[in-house]
Amino acid sequence: KHLFDNRYGTGQSTLDGIMHATNILIGGKTVTVGGYGFCGKGIAMRMKGMGANVIVTEVDPVKAVEAYMDGFRVMHMREALKSSDMAVTVTGMKNVISYEDMKTAKRGIILSNSGHFNNEIDTASLSEKSTEKRMARDNVMFYKLDNGNEIYLISEGRLVNLASGQGHPVEIMDMSFAIQALTAEYLVK
């Protein structure tokens, strides 16, 4: 499942959600992908394929080397966000992008999450400490931080491929369900 659903399904559906929510051109943008597991690899590949300059952040040193060997720049999150137009988290971990990271991020950065839960971006601190919050467009909120920096957040930090997109392509879902059915059949035998 992870070879196709996570890598190709999440990769494509994440871009679909981001592009649907923002209507921005990916080519030429600097994009940080937080995490280089199967989902992160898929997102990084798709972003690169659309002409983005991709930075990967990864705490596992082996996966970080893999990202580097795949042709991506590898940095710590705070450093990567300083030059990024957009960032996507996909780690399954809490507060991958902290409020302190947001304060030093590039002005106008677009943040989104495609990980397991809606806690990869510190949205609680973002809402609590921002001096201004307004809807920029459907599924995109604008925040002015207490230090004057400006952030755009897609789908309130929820899974962008589901909250702003249409989820995985049907062919990927067919493969995932077929694998599940075959697994159930195998267990019964």
Helix/strand/coil for 49:
helix
Amino acid at 29: K
- The pLDDT tens digits of the residues spanning 156-178 come to 999 898 878 777 766 767 777 78
- The pLDDT score that the predictor gives to residue 61 is 98
- The pLDDT score that the predictor gives to residue 137 is 96
SS3 readout for 98-153: CHHHHHCCCCCEEEEECCCCCCCECHHHHHHHCCEEEEEECCEEEEECCCCCEEEE
- The pLDDT score that the predictor gives to residue 70 is 98
Amino acid at 106: K
Helix/strand/coil for 29:
coil
Domains of the chain: total: 1
DSSP string, 33-65: EE--SHHHHHHHHHHHHTT-EEEEE-SSHHHHH
User: How many secondary structure helices (H) and strands (E) does the chain include?
Assistant: 8, 8
Report the CATH number that the domain containing residue 49 is assigned in CATH: 3.40.50.720
- The pLDDT score that the predictor gives to residue 1 is 66
Both structure tokens of 169: 């392509």
The domain in which residue 81 lies consists of: 2-188
Q: What does the alpha-carbon distance between residue 56 and residue 51 come to, in Å, rounded to a whole number?
A: 15
Taking residues 62-86, what's their average pLDDT? Answer: 98
pTM listed for this prediction: 0.91
